[in-house]
Amino acid sequence: MEYIQGFEAHLRSKDRSENTVSCYIRDVLQFITWYQRKTEYGLDKWIELDGVEYKKYLQSTNQAILTINRKIASINVFAQWMRQQGYIKEEVHIEAVRNKVVRQYKGLAEKDLWKLRNEIHRMGNRMHICMIEILLGTGIRVSELVGVKLKILK
């Protein structure tokens, strides 16, 4: 699995968290297993249509949309790396699944979430507002948000 070792080294060189690296690798290994079952071609022949088919497969497994989109994001990063390394010739990008249902956040009822968000905005602390909006809008883990480094631009 030369691809996986190289991809993992790439992720580590980008200073990704251990959790992020393990999720990306797990997601990519799941994709590769699916790909090898579906085709007799190697990954060097991977095309965008394969990604579309994988997305359909993921949707058929009844996983949460956030989970599917995380897996798609992992595979998109892998595809970008594969192209940069010259392993594949064409750009491969899988579109995320559009969530047609209102998001359900773990741990808080919608009413309580609305109250929390509202209070944070009322207090007016821009850093807190930014943090809550990033958490709710991106699905980033709290541990990743804590690790964000800020730069002040002048």
pLDDT at residue number 146:
86
In tens, the pLDDT along 96-152 reads: 988 765 555 667 787 888 888 889 888 889 889 888 888 887 778 888 888 887 777
Same domain membership, residue 110 and residue 67: no
| Structural domain count of the chain | 2
CB atoms within 10 A of CB 43: 17
Is residue 90 domain-resident?
no
Same domain membership, residue 80 and residue 27: yes
Last-in-domain residue among 84, 111, 135: 84
**How does the average pLDDT of the chain come out, rounded?**
87
Distance CA 57, CA 31 (A): 10
For residue 62, the enclosing domain spans: 2-84
Angle at 144 between CA 151 and CA 6, to 5 degrees: 100
- As to burial, measured by CB atoms within 10 angstroms (0-12 exposed, 13-18 middle, 19+ buried), residue 30 is middle
Distance CA 124, CA 52 (A): 43
Task: Tell me the CATH number at 36.
Answer: 1.10.150.130
Is residue 70 domain-resident?
yes
